[in-house]
Structure 1
């Protein structure tokens, strides 16, 4: 089954339609690469995908532990390198509003590192992941 259909809209912008849900995502080239920067860039989406994947995997594990991650946030910073232009680093800072239990913290942090996007990214991309437990 097709996952998505991507259409080039002109002016360095794309529309991606998720076939199962009909959800649309717009991407724009970033300002530093000839674009308008009016939407996520494709490389922004890669960095953001890592954070959303990690939260999703932690939420599945938390649910199995009868815990709720609602309200958890992740601040994502993407660092680009030149020649070739590529993502060199992804920094993700999680704000976890859940528990003081060390075992739960350790379990969820280890679980986050097993998300499929994390395993799919090239090992040369530095991943700086931090958790702040409240």
Structure 2
């Protein structure tokens, strides 16, 4: 990798050799054990891939709301986002993420409603509901992720009116 930032944009999963499904994911200098529950044949030693995806949506929502509230100068405290995932077979799309957002602060009804709208515009939400593309390649020499796809860059674009696909209409 030629750019140190590239390593921050890539996640690498490797089997641990423990159980059928346990994997160690390395990203941004951190390692996470990922597994399946015991009743699905795993060891139950870590979150499932769907739980990580739900975690990404929860974290992105919380971070985006914080950034937006700060830029607006709104007195928002204790932002909390919980996300669950389930499948509804026979429906399209079958995957459903249920998100619950809570926050405190002296906000009027319009500001609260605006924060809920902003939650739907976090970069991970847009990725999950948009038309992302996954390219699968074989080999060790995989190209690194583009540094232009960092989450902070996307959040910054999201809160600036008129920038990119994350356009907000000011109210």
Q: Which residue of 2 aligns with 1:91?
A: 98
Matched, 1:23 2:33: no
| Off by >3 Å, runs of 4+ in structure 1 | 67-70, 80-83
Q: TM-score, normalised by structure 2?
A: 0.60
Matched, 1:119 2:115: no
Provide, for residues 74-99 of structure 1, a one-character-per-residue CA deviation record: whole Å limited to 9, x for no partner: 2222213569xx96211111221123
Q: Which runs of 5+ in 2 are unaligned?
A: 1-5, 131-171
Specify the SS of the correspondent of 2:73: coil
Q: TM-score, normalised by structure 1?
A: 0.74
**RMSD (Å), alpha carbons:** 2.4
Q: Which residue of 2 aligns with 1:14?
A: 23
Q: Which residue of 2 aligns with 1:107?
A: 114
Deviation at 1:42, TM superposition (A): 0.5
Q: Which has the higher helix share?
A: 2
Q: Which residue of 1 aligns with 2:78?
A: 71
Query: Contact 1:17/1:25 (CA < 8 Å) preserved in 2?
Result: yes
Provide, for residues 1-42 of structure 1, a one-character-per-residue CA deviation record: whole Å limited to 9, x for no partner: 2323222112211111224xx122211112342112221100
Specify the SS of the correspondent of 1:67: coil
Q: Distance in 1 between matches of 2:43 and 2:51?
A: 14
Q: Distance in 2 between matches of 1:117 and 1:36?
A: 28
- Tell me the number of residue pairs that the alignment of Structure 1 and Structure 2 aligns: 119
Q: Which has the higher strand share?
A: 1
Provide, for residues 91-134 of structure 1, a one-character-per-residue CA deviation record: whole Å limited to 9, x for no partner: 111221123312221221111111121111157xxxxxxxxxxx
Structure 1 residues 60 and 41: alpha-carbon distance in aligned structure 2, compared to 1, 3 A threshold: same
Query: Contact 1:6/1:15 (CA < 8 Å) preserved in 2?
Result: yes
